[in-house]
Amino acid sequence: MSKMTSEPVISQVYTASQRTMLPKSSRVKTHALTLEWTFGMNHALPVFSLQDRENIVILYGGSHVGVMYDHTSNSQHLLQGHCSLISCLCVSEDRRWLVTADRGQESLVIIWDSYSGIPVRTLFECPPGGGVVALALSKDSKLLATVGDGELQKVCIWEWTCETEEPLCVAEISPEYGSQNHILFNPNDNTQLISNSEKQVLFYNRDKGSLEYSAPELQDKTFNKVVGAISQSVFHWKGIQALSATAAGNLVLWDVVRGCPLSRKAIKLLPFQADGITVLTTTDRLIVTGDVQGHVKFYDEDIKLVSWYSDFNLDPIASISFSKESPPVSGDGYSEDCSIEAKSFLIRNFVLSTTSSMVVHVNARGGEPKTLLHEHCEPLHAVACHPKQPLVAMCSLGGILKVWDYNSKLVVASRIFKDEKQIQCITFDPQGFYLAVGFASGAVHVLDACTLQSNSEECFRYSRDCITHITFSSDSNYLATADTGKAVMVFRLHMSSTSQCWKYLGRHHSHYKPITDLLFGVHLDSTQPRLLSLGMDRRLVEYDLEKSSEDALLILSAERIDQSAVPTCMAWYPPLTTEHFLLIASNLHKIKLLNCTTKMCRKTLLGPTFGSPIQKINILPIHKDHDPYSRCLAYITKNKVGLQILPLDGNPHKSTALTCHPTGVSALACSYDGRFVFTAGGPESTVLAWEISLDALEGAAALGGKDLIPFYSLLEGGRDGEFFREMEDFFYYCQLRNQGIDSMETRKVSTHIPLVEVPFVMRALGFFPTEQELEDMQNEVRFSKYAETGKYVTDIDLEEFIKLYVNHRPAFGLCGDELVHTFQILRDPYVTEGEPVINRDEMMELLQARGEHMTEEEVAECFTTLLGLNPEGGRSELGTFACQDPEQLLECELPENISMETFASHILGFPTFKTGDSSVSQNDKLSTATSERANVLKE
């Protein structure tokens, strides 16, 4: 018998070296979406120099990821692990350890090994309740200081190399000292720290597990001069004194109080310059400042000016980081300092970042600056992909338009708009000749896609409202826009034998609520383009492009497509079926397929349920390496990007989503070859590129099971649960009733029930659809095979019914807040105190005159059954409902003023809940009494 041996696993962190920095990611994709590249940066965070020899490597923050960027090889390694926007960064003295932190409900502090890119420690919710606003590592990297967010800030010291989950010591900062936003260890003494807010500097001393701090006075009256808002503070490199820089251009010098070495006071206010100082740091034996003019100045230990850089023509400095590589001994090629001896000014190379999202590397030998990054610094809401080339265009509210080659990660074209700056949306035409740009001012520019230039005649200003949507027709002859004025505007391409130009066609105020999407298509019986707009008013409007003339855009049809759900976006469903569909997503996590010609709702499906509803959808192009019948769509929600396998059937395992922009994603674009998805982060000023792996997505879907297994998991208790058994009982009871309850003939057992019985089973299961929803359900089943066979379906089996039920019922059950909202709208205006109530007579009138009208007899039948006064259970089983005076009956049984609690608990039989309850379970929402009444399949 052989003896099994195994080699010990060697840690990648232990074996990593500086040469392994920025490791190459594996080409085997195990996730459906993999973050490939981050375009843009958070200019509010510092930028750190990591390497400065063979390669120039820097660290910065972009959205919720840390970015290790190698400028020499033009590559990135992304530090992923945060769900919220990264709020602060810091690095160790030797650049081996990196720390990232965020602010959010589930805040994290993550310590990374920069050589391997692996997280070595994660601190959860430190401190709890809001995240971290400032970080610092001690000089030996063993201690980590964090400053918490919130009104009552906590400063914690962590010995992060130990396994303990608790900090070494904690200090609570009084709110009177302002929000501390910067902290630093004393490089000569790990027991001392300094932090500051805009108005107060605090000094800390750690002793025997406690952290004490002092707040020396610093006001304008201290020196009878304007001090200014404090920007940053550092310890003098000798470790005794400390310095603070201010927005008024002053430098405050702190020293220990005689006889009390742990206390400090401001001893001098040095008016350095007229311009505000934004950055204060030290390197070797020098004190370094950066200011709002983009200047960098160096001072010696006596705070005397030694040298400066003032000719870089930069915006205000946001951070300065020096290389860990020591300066050479020889001074050849270095500039001279300001001393009388004019010595060579030997300093380390350094990296600057500015408030305009520019990162500059300065080689101290020669003082030549090199721009490493120049990104968008204003909110970025627009992104679009070229239809035939690996190009992606992105625009910000600062008026900057850039076109990137997303394979080489290089900018191939750019333009700055000076007259109109706030770019809101962009799109390429299907041929790739034009790039249309929509502005917040209402202007529309049509650019050459290669040069990004435009003729003055093709700069249109026919609207004063912000352009929110812009799209071309498939033949590139029409351009349409939607704006915040709830109007659609159309332009047409006029061609002559010698030239072609865009002309204004017309504008129509076609919606009374904001427009959510705009879409061109093609008529099925011709190649003529068709244009549709979708609004929050639940209207789907189609325009008559053929008959429209200059300044007269005509409407062909307008359909109300839903009763309660608000549509959010639409797309043409790919030709996976005989019938052609228009796909529409709504705020209730539902996706509807409408017949392209009749606009009839042909199918309702459960959409992705990852927090918020779908906001935008793109059908992915067919990838050359994949099955042409294996299609997929990409979508975005409030802060996530996801993929959904087609055809749609409600299977939750066919969908996936990841957090892409914690503060909100504003735009989505897909590459022409279906390999990448790009998301724009709005206020984050970033665009993220996601690589798609359909194999990984299909593999994950396969793990969810085949046939009905994924749908059983959506039922409470699953296939073996009580709810499923009740569903079977209702299903077979319908067969009995359909054959006659009192019939003495031999029963015919079947696996199907007539389509007319579906509404009763749905209601018995606790789902109460409207008449329009019931009609949609029946049409969905009735026409399910009509396109293939030409015949109607008149019955349904249990398996198809389960799918129908899962897809049509509310995605998250009944929500108590919805009932509260309804009562707030319908409440009696004369009853202003206490909880809202509805007058009984007004409720009866609303039920009979508004929405789907009910007769007086139907109202009486429903209420008497709900109240237990109709033991027969209603006419659905035993014939007609008999009541001599239904109005008198309701007056006796219902109070004059009906409160929300009365309506929910006493009439509907829901579990008792109060305002603020999130939801009532889909299958537990009826009380015991109501469940018993449901067993008789009451309408």
**What are the tens digits of pLDDT across the range 767-793?**
889 999 999 999 999 998 888 888 999
Q: Which of these ranges, 57-66, 659-668, 753-762, has the smallest mean pLDDT?
A: 753-762
**What pLDDT is attached to residue 526?**
85
Residue 101 has pLDDT above 90, yes or no: yes
**What pLDDT is attached to residue 863?**
82
**What pLDDT is attached to residue 506?**
96
Label residue 347 by pLDDT band (50, 70, 90). Answer: confident
Residue 139 has pLDDT above 60, yes or no: yes
Label residue 864 by pLDDT band (50, 70, 90). Answer: confident
Residue 264 has pLDDT above 50, yes or no: yes
Label residue 591 by pLDDT band (50, 70, 90). Answer: very high
**What pLDDT is attached to residue 634?**
97
Strands in 488-495's sheet, in edge-to-edge order, are 467-472, 478-483, 488-495, 500-508
Residue 896 has pLDDT above 90, yes or no: no
Label residue 937 by pLDDT band (50, 70, 90). Answer: very low
In this predicted model, which residue has the larger pLDDT, 584 or 238?
584
The distance between the two most distant Cα atoms of the chain, rounded to a whole number of Å, is 119
**What pLDDT is attached to residue 153?**
92
The fraction of the chain above a pLDDT of 90, given in percent, is 63
Residue 864, phi then psi, degrees to nearest 5: -65, -35
Residues 439-495 have pLDDT tens digits of: 999 999 999 999 999 888 889 999 999 999 999 999 999 999 999 999 999 999 998
Q: Mean pLDDT across the stretch 232-254? A: 92
d(CA 658, CA 667): 15
Residue 73 has pLDDT above 80, yes or no: yes
Label residue 848 by pLDDT band (50, 70, 90). Answer: confident
The fraction of the chain above a pLDDT of 70, given in percent, is 89
Residues 682-725 have pLDDT tens digits of: 999 999 999 999 999 999 999 999 989 999 999 999 999 999 99
DSSP state of 365: B
Q: Mean pLDDT across the stretch 361-381? A: 91
Q: Mean pLDDT across the stretch 316-341? A: 79
For residue 462, the tally of other CB atoms under 10 A from its CB is 17
In this predicted model, which residue has the larger pLDDT, 750 or 246?
246
Q: How high does pLDDT run on average in the chain? A: 88
Residue 21 has pLDDT above 80, yes or no: no
Residue 345 has pLDDT above 80, yes or no: no
**What pLDDT is attached to residue 364?**
84
Return the C-alpha torsion angle 725, 727, 728, 731, nearest 10.
160
Contacts 24+ apart (CB under 8 A), 261-267: 262/203, 262/205, 262/212, 262/214, 263/203, 263/214, 263/216, 264/203, 264/214, 264/216, 265/216, 265/217, 266/216, 266/217, 266/218, 266/222, 266/223
Q: What angle do CA 433, 439, 442 make, to 5 degrees?
A: 110
Q: Mean pLDDT across the stretch 7-26? A: 65
What separation in angstroms does the CA of 421 have from each of 389, 399, 440, 479, 912? 27, 4, 8, 21, 54
Q: How far does Cα 900 stand from its chain's mean position?
A: 35
Q: Which of 710, 592, 715 is nearest to 652 (CA)?
A: 710
Length of the chain: 939
Q: What is the CA radius of gyration of the chain?
A: 34
- Reported as half-sphere exposure (CB side, CA atoms, 13 A), residue 885 has a value of 5
At 78, list the tokens.
């992304």
Residues 429-446 have pLDDT tens digits of: 999 999 999 999 999 999
d(CA 878, CA 742): 10
**What pLDDT is attached to residue 446?**
96
Residues 603-646 have pLDDT tens digits of: 999 999 998 999 999 999 987 777 777 899 999 999 999 999 99
Handedness of CA 795, 799, 805, 806 (dihedral sign): negative
Label residue 843 by pLDDT band (50, 70, 90). Answer: confident
One-letter amino acid identity for 554? L
Class of residue 746 by CB neighbours under 10 A (exposed 0-12, middle 13-18, buried 19+): exposed
**What pLDDT is attached to residue 25?**
54
